[in-house]
Amino acid sequence: MTQAKHWFFGIIIFAAITLLFGPVQRAFFGIVKYVFEGNSLGKMYLFLGFAAVFFLFLWLRGKKNYRRKNEGGHIYKYAAIVGAMFVLSLFLQGFLIYSYNAASQSAAITVLSERNGFLEWESSYLQHTHTGKIAFGLISQAIPVGAAKVDSGAPMFSIIPFAPFFAIIFLALMIAAIYFAFREARRIYDGTITPDILVWLVLSFQFILFSMDGGLFTLGMQSAIALGAYYCLRHYSKHHFSALEQFVYPLLITGGFQFALSYVFSANAASSYGLPMAGILLALATIFNNRDNPEFNWKAWAVFGLILVAAAGDAYIGFAVGRILFPEKQADMLIYGLPESVTQTQLENTLSGRLEIIKIEKIGNIATVSAMPKSLYAMDFLAEDLRRGLNPEGYLYVVPMQRSEGLVKIVANVPIDSLLDVKSEFVSFEKTEYNGKIYLGMHSEFNKVYAGFWVLNYLRYEKGVKGAVVVTS
């Protein structure tokens, strides 16, 4: 299977296999979540669809006249378009931070809104922006479907001024970026699918995706930048780099770039998770590109690659099956996507087969739980149990709670002083001063994203606040 048509049919067959066999789907989804991020299967099938069209284009347009003279320059057009998408996404994020009087530039803008009669939530912050997803939000406005099984982008679309205008710009830029990505692939395609074409497939999809969903500081950008540097060293440098240099320099470039941006914008690059994956992808590309080189010590590289895989193993398991739950070790979690009609007692009964509940609290379509697992299990398996038992209309997932350091400063577009009287075992509020302004400070076991989401649910279900509600945290 070395020709584009073979890869095209292979992608179609593999997509069908993931639909039919759960273990295959879960294993591949873990890789997709690590490389591209996301909580829904939509992103996995989006990549498979992109790959299928990518190889179809090469098959239909690359049969004759390989490496045409007029095929140069497409990568520069691609880079300029994707760069414009990143700038626009960052501009909209900054606009939201300013508009909603956030306490800091790294604040999370969290939104709860209705779409076709169903609630959706979304959060955007510098470490993972969602402002570019208004392009999908525009499309979702015209689709009369029920509760979303994927993040549709509708919440961000509901609060960004002139959202249809910006969404059309994003869609136009995305289509142009895809076109030039395919033209660049055609430039290096000589009738055989090489490792460099596969590298370009992954990195071109990453940059388009992250320009709309993730941003410059998101986890997967580290491998995207590393693969981009690797590809340019091999195809756009007049200097010949050794296999080791082709591996090391991209890692230095991505690390330096991410930490420089983090310093300027005060956003955490999360390199401890991203760099091992970048190393794995670079090692694979290096091994396969040098497999016929008699001077290349592929055995040593294979051992090195396995070390990188081991370093990334814990993160991959987390992406594939969720946080591991150990017996007799307390687990604190947040459950999202529960049907409103399900009572706290019903939820506790559903969980009781796997967990010894310590405390539990359900508000609207979320629940916070502290429990002792009865046996070795994983959070994604627990989510599957809940889907089978409760039959939610939208997508449901379970995530670990992470205690925030100090107070989370809460600002909302609706009055929130009533939160000072909240009676909860998981959260409490107090007024606090920061940079000369008075904020509502939240003590909780949530990070800033889920802290904002908890507030949104409380305002919606306990205080009856309707419409699009925005909280910065």
Residues 158-209: tens digit of each pLDDT: 899 999 999 999 999 999 999 999 999 999 898 889 999 999 999 999 999 9
Q: With 90 as the cut, is the pLDDT of residue 91 above it? A: yes
Which one of 117-121, 197-201, 272-276 scores highest in mean pLDDT? 197-201
Class of domain 324-400: alpha beta
pLDDT score at 449 = 83
Structure tokens at 2: 């070395």
pLDDT score at 362 = 92
User: Count of alpha carbons within 13 Å of 83, Cβ hemisphere only?
Assistant: 6
pLDDT score at 264 = 62
Hunting for tokens 């879960």 — which residue is that?
A: 26
Q: With 80 as the cut, is the pLDDT of residue 309 above it? A: no
Q: Where are the domains of the chain?
A: 324-400, 408-472
Put residue 9 in one of left, alpha, beta given phi > 0 → left and psi -120 to 50 → alpha: alpha
Higher pLDDT, 340 or 172: 172
Closest CA to 269 of 251, 257, 281: 257
Put residue 17 in one of left, alpha, beta given phi > 0 → left and psi -120 to 50 → alpha: alpha
pTM of the model: 0.90
Reported in sequence order, the residue ranges of 235-349 that DSSP labels E, i.e. its strands, are 324-325, 331-336
pLDDT score at 69 = 47
Q: With 70 as the cut, is the pLDDT of residue 157 above it? A: yes
Higher pLDDT, 402 or 316: 316
- Taking residues 254-270, report their average pLDDT: 65
Query: 335 near 367, Cβ under 8 Å?
Result: yes
Q: Which long-range contacts (CB under 8 A, 24 or more apart) does 209-212 make?
A: 209/36, 209/43, 209/46, 210/86, 211/82, 211/85, 211/86, 211/89, 211/132, 211/177, 212/85, 212/89, 212/132, 212/133, 212/135, 212/136, 212/170, 212/174
Query: 163 near 113, Cβ under 8 Å?
Result: no
Higher pLDDT, 131 or 101: 131
Q: What is the pLDDT of residues 34-70, one digit of tens each?
A: 888 877 788 899 999 999 999 999 998 865 554 554 5
The angle subtended at Cα 469 by Cα 463 and Cα 473, nearest 5°, is 100
Higher pLDDT, 320 or 374: 374
Question: How far is Cα 42 from Cα 210, in angstroms, rounded to an integer?
Answer: 15
